[in-house]
Structure 1
């Protein structure tokens, strides 16, 4: 009956001894480190100076920020009354409420797609009064051509022309740059999940490049988004417009035919009804063409309303304005971080070496 208390007391004593040994060991090592204060201080000072040098030579980064509000186009409401009429003409007004390929947050991924980044990089912009491709500006500002010359022997490269005809090396370079943007330079998000405001941030060492790339990317993606969302309705409008123009021409020829038939027999004998047959046939063509043209024009206007309803509203709220927000490591902060890092590393190395020597002895 007394074994349990005895075992408990022994466990408590062993725990107390273990904690005491740990505390004693830590105090011993700490006292030993105090004897090496000169070495630790020297290393900390050197690392602090290294941090100062890093902060001095490290280029600042500039962040360009754009925000815009996105409101999806809807095709319900007042168009429902025309759905039956439009369906007779084979027109889909899109009133079924089905989600599109870019519904919700998919536009955020569209911003990070290789296609959109490539289109933006290959765009020509005017920077400092000089027209140039953004990809050329990016390569020059990051000294990439020098690295490629040393590693791959590439002394010059051009990205003008049709992207579909690019070489394997050109496609590889664009892919690498796009991956770098997604990992480090580009951030697209919704600051508030409850709102439809989207924030686009572009960060680079080149202030003018950050601003130009941000503005061009937002314009490129939003145009592509709008065109894709309204592509089907735009095709319906184009088809109906061609049909309306064609029937209008036929109607014009029919009206001219009626006039010509009447002119061919201006004083026809009322008793000879056969003389009125050509003009009556032409008149039937005019009436039929007029009815068809009227229906097509009606459907065309309904399709135009549908197109306007489906067109999303994209309103830019804020655009990047010079000077951009600059992020740079402060000199004092760099000295403190470098010094503390140096002290920790040299202290750990001294303790580790002391333990190794003790084990080897």
Structure 2
């Protein structure tokens, strides 16, 4: 009996158990031994690049002037006034707001407001002018440790005559805004710990003595600024409340107004007697002994690493060009 074509067994290909060999392309694989050999042959190039960049980084680092950081740790001043104002606000807040009186206890607290004032252009500009810091801030380039004197940039300012130089008839004296922005970006640092509610006010400057003095002045001036603001506001409120008392005959309203006057009187009295009004100094600024910047060892290490990578890149390019010419 003959088998039809459909009944004939079709041989399987490939046979069972046979596996195709995986294709290998040696050209696309990275031979680590060959790579190491190439780097070893070019080791002097790598060392030379690392040495040159490390030397350049060292020269740059040691040419930079020392920067000293002085800081003070401050905390919001504790006062019973806050709780008293909060209680008064809960009782008469609505009526007081209609009268145009701010009892506090709502919105931004005094410490948060004071920190915003500290970092404001107006306060820093006034601070620079009040203490005559423009020359020390904008016309210096270093500090002589032996003499304890600042090194002035004579291309901008003449220390003997105490005059700013001119350039094509235009004075090189910086504007108030330029000095303020430089102070906020380069000199002042304010960091608040949200857990402890403590704030660190830091000054970075060439002289550790001046840096310590500026921190002390900043904290004192900030307290004085907030104190004067509250005193002025309390006096204005009291004058307004007295006018309202003279114009009303309702007993309840008069009682509310008298209590508001009493609270404003307490605020005024507290502001007059308390010097550390917004912040108390927990750890005052000191004259530090060692510079915080520049970090010369770190600069040199980064330069060495970059030089090494540059050397490896150069050796790799050189080997690639050599192999390309052989093809």
Structure 1 and Structure 2 fold alike (TM over 0.5): yes
Distance 1:214 1:27 in 2: 60
1:76 aligns with 2:112: no
Sort the Cα spacing of 1:134 and 1:21 in 2 relative to 1 into closer, same or farther, 3 A: same
**1:40 alignment partner in structure 2:** 46
Residues 62, 210 of structure 1: 8 Å contact kept: yes
**1:180 match:** 182
The equivalent residue for 2:175 is: 170
2:315 maps to what in 1? Answer: 350
SS in structure 2 opposite 1:321? Answer: coil
Residue equivalent to 2:305: 340
Deviates more, 1:49-58 or 1:299-308: 299-308
Tell me, yes or no, if structure 1 residue 195 matches structure 2 residue 181.
no
1:185·1:203 contact (CA, 8 Å) conserved in 2? yes
Partner of 1:304: 265
Q: Contact 1:44–1:339 at 8 Å: present in 2 too?
A: yes
Question: SS in structure 2 opposite 1:320?
Answer: coil
Aligned residues: 278
C-alpha separation in 1, matches of 2:183 and 2:130: 16
1:315 aligned partner: 280
Structure 2 residues not aligned, in runs of 5+? 1-12, 142-151, 158-163, 245-256
CA shift at 1:188, angstroms? 0.9
Aligned to 2:206: 205
Tell me the residue number matched to 1:270: none
Tell me the equivalent position of 1:118. Answer: 125
2:160 aligned residue? none
Is this contact kept in 2: 1:70–1:315, CA < 8 A? yes
Q: Hey, which of these two has a bigger chunk of helix by percent?
A: 1
With normalisation by structure 1, the TM-score equals 0.59
Within a 5 Å distance, the mapping from 1:209-228 to structure 2 comes to 209-228=210-229
Give, in angstroms, the shift of residue 118 of structure 1.
0.9
The within-5 A match list for 1:60-139 is 60-71=66-77, 73-74=82-83, 75-77=85-87, 92=101, 94=103, 97-100=105-108, 105-124=112-131, 133-139=132-138
Q: Is the 8 A contact 1:122 1:134 kept in 2?
A: yes
Query: Which structure is larger by alpha-carbon Rg, 1 or 2?
Result: 1
- What's the offset of the Cα at 1:65? 0.4
